[in-house]
Structure 1
Amino acid sequence: MKFPSLFKTPRYQRFNITPRYYDPVKEEIEQRTSLIKRELQLQKGDHSSAGSLHASRLSGSFKKARNSRKSSIGLMQMVIIMLLSAGLVGYLYFGNVALYIFLLVSSVLLYLKVKHIL
């Protein structure tokens, strides 16, 4: 059984193949020019490539969502560390009262997280 952790542990990767001649800037420029060409064809009246236009936009939106998810995980780890340190400092200054308040607040936050309210 795995215990929860605050830090991300590296996972086993079976393959790590990197292409030899890959230029991401050139590929992005080619994608943008092909997108503009398809939009111009749609404006002229050629509706044969309308489906592929939406597919390329859809795949780009998934990439953006993946990046925002990574940043939200880092933010959540930072919030957890700050709450733990605030609970420790509160316990050192105020004693058991701060510990009880910390446990109450953390249990409410955990409940809201499980119910997908927060």
Structure 2
Amino acid sequence: MAFIRLFKTPKNQQFSYKPRYWDPKKEEAEERRLRIETLQNGGVDGMKQRLRGGFRKGAGGEAAGRYRNERVAKSNYSLVIIMVVLIVLSYLLIQVYFPDLEQLLG
């Protein structure tokens, strides 16, 4: 009986998606070109672009990043020196006072 069908069962609906090619480098170059054009034209839009670019780079731009890297390097150097001094001090204290503690306890 299964071979005689009165109604056709519907098939699943097909979805055809064709992806488009996207070039991020080309898009970035186009944005940069538009930004430069608005900066050169001046006016209110140029001023907005300059401000937006300044906020994007951060306060001080590239020099601020270099300054921060120098400060981090100095901080790390100081931390290493402090750790070495503490290790040497603890070693000396153990050598000086540990034999006395061993005699008291043992």
What is the TM-score with the length of structure 1 in the denominator?
A: 0.39
Greater RCO, 1 or 2 (C-alpha within 8 Å, sep 6+): 1
